[in-house]
Structure 1
């Protein structure tokens, strides 16, 4: 039997390619962060550090306020995620449970708005926050980041809310809950996989966002990690080991969150797809 005609073989090959493509860049960045400048430029190339060192990590925190960048990213991403999920839960509940006029049109608009590139919003947002005196404040990033993730979060939660039996809400309201009380005490907890999925998507989008952070937070003390890391390079120097160390610091929170909640995320995506 020809092994190349075995469909399972090609499935494993495709899976291996996807895994390699996903993990190799992160592994390579980590290994680069443990090398010196001299070893990085050595020929022939060394894939594994000959003398691993943590010196680049100490330099990453000393040459730029990386700790401050990290704190700014945490504040912005967590706040934007919380605001996004709060508003998305209300919107998704209304579209899933209430008789909203033009519901199909609203859903179509949500899909359309989610396709808008960030660059088209840059000038209006810049002028708005400049007029309000909100540049170099957390609000200048929290509001746009939450709004950019809102369509996807709303569409994700709608499919889960539709799968919750209405009798559970009715029973809660008979026991004295208001409609909003039934939402927060019954519907949202029962839709935990969808909430986790939407939350992680919103968090990652905010954590990785660069263009708005570069434009609306020009002060060094207010830079987020994606912007702050770009300032390690000079006009004629590109210190790859130093930048790689900073990138590893930026990757750790996302990797930890996905590792801890991967089952809920995968379950949320698959259940949402089935229910939708």
Structure 2
């Protein structure tokens, strides 16, 4: 009985700890700037929710924010697709082939994944301006792929190692080529890992702020996190907190929807390759 009570208390504490900031920002998004300024303690503004809905109308009518949504969707999807394709091929080679320096490749991939992002912003800024891809989609897609590929390779290589080698050999005995066996047998069996790598890559690209603010200068490629920093009101010393909160809620909705729809596959992908056998 004590264990059940402790478990319930622990779960409630974790939920409150995680969901309180979410509830706070949702409450803030429904308040007017005047309510925020005077410190309205209620969850909804004293003027009612209709007044708070004006924040969402203002955000969705903002052309810069709509451009940022388009940029984030396009950049994140392209970076995810390219990263998953390259990581799938690389992870398969690492898991199935024996070649000199394989451990070194995995070690370097892990080192790259742990490398601090801030230290690369300056060199990338100069390089991208020199070769002409500053403030463009490729200028963000390349760094996103560079930092998500190592994690995707590590995740997928664990799945490929667990797939019995005999299944691929059986497909080749039945007349399939190496590419057909890989595409029709190996990849479907590693689908949870591929899906996990895609989700992690998409989340990284969608939530990135450092590259988005440093490698863009206009709305041509600026993603949502960077665009939020340019939300200013009439007074530069009094930021429109309610508008920022509404924009943050809108930007978070796609992530929440993806997690709710694919939560089982995400959990399966994160845990399937963890235990061997």
Q: TM-score, normalized by length of structure 1? A: 0.92
Tell me what 2:262 maps to: 261
Tell me what 1:60 maps to: 59
- Segment drifting more, 170-179 vs 190-199: 170-179
Check 1:237–1:44 CA distance in 2 against 1; reply closer, same or farther (3 A cut): closer
| 1:70-81 correspondence runs (5 A) | 70-81=69-80
Q: State how far apart, in whole Å, the 2-side matches of 1:129 and 1:176 are.
A: 47
- Segment drifting more, 47-56 vs 132-141: 47-56
Tell me what 1:22 maps to: 18
Q: TM-score, normalized by length of structure 2? A: 0.92
Deviation of the 1:9 alpha carbon: 2.9
1:160–1:275 Cα contact (<8 Å) kept: no
- Segment drifting more, 246-255 vs 110-119: 110-119
1:33 to 2:29 alignment: yes
- Segment drifting more, 146-155 vs 41-50: 41-50
Q: State how far apart, in whole Å, the 1-side matches of 2:45 and 2:165 are.
A: 59
1:39–1:46 Cα contact (<8 Å) kept: no
Q: State how far apart, in whole Å, the 1-side matches of 2:111 and 2:273 are.
A: 20
Deviation of the 1:64 alpha carbon: 4.9
Q: State how far apart, in whole Å, the 2-side matches of 1:135 and 1:176 are.
A: 48
1:86 to 2:80 alignment: no
Moved over 6 A (4+): none
1:225–1:250 Cα contact (<8 Å) kept: yes
Q: State how far apart, in whole Å, the 2-side matches of 1:179 and 1:68 are.
A: 43
Q: State how far apart, in whole Å, the 1-side matches of 2:13 and 2:110 are.
A: 31
Q: State how far apart, in whole Å, the 2-side matches of 1:147 and 1:173 are.
A: 34
2:152–2:197 Cα contact (<8 Å) kept: yes
Q: Work out the number of aligned pairs and report it.
A: 272
Check 1:45–1:78 CA distance in 2 against 1; reply closer, same or farther (3 A cut): same
Tell me what 1:191 maps to: 190
Tell me what 1:110 maps to: 109
- Segment drifting more, 105-114 vs 187-196: 105-114
Q: Matched residue of 1:254: which SS?
A: helix
| 1:105-144 correspondence runs (5 A) | 105-144=104-143
CA RMSD of aligned residues (A): 1.8
Q: Matched residue of 1:274: which SS?
A: coil
Deviation of the 1:43 alpha carbon: 4.8
Give the gaps of 5 or more residues in structure 2. none
Check 1:176–1:133 CA distance in 2 against 1; reply closer, same or farther (3 A cut): farther
1:215 to 2:211 alignment: no
Check 1:8–1:100 CA distance in 2 against 1; reply closer, same or farther (3 A cut): farther
Q: State how far apart, in whole Å, the 1-side matches of 2:126 and 2:70 are.
A: 26
Provide Cα deviations, 1:139-198, integer angstroms capped at 9, x if missing partner. Answer: 101111011111111111111111111122112223443323322221111111111111
1:173 to 2:172 alignment: yes
2:69–2:223 Cα contact (<8 Å) kept: yes
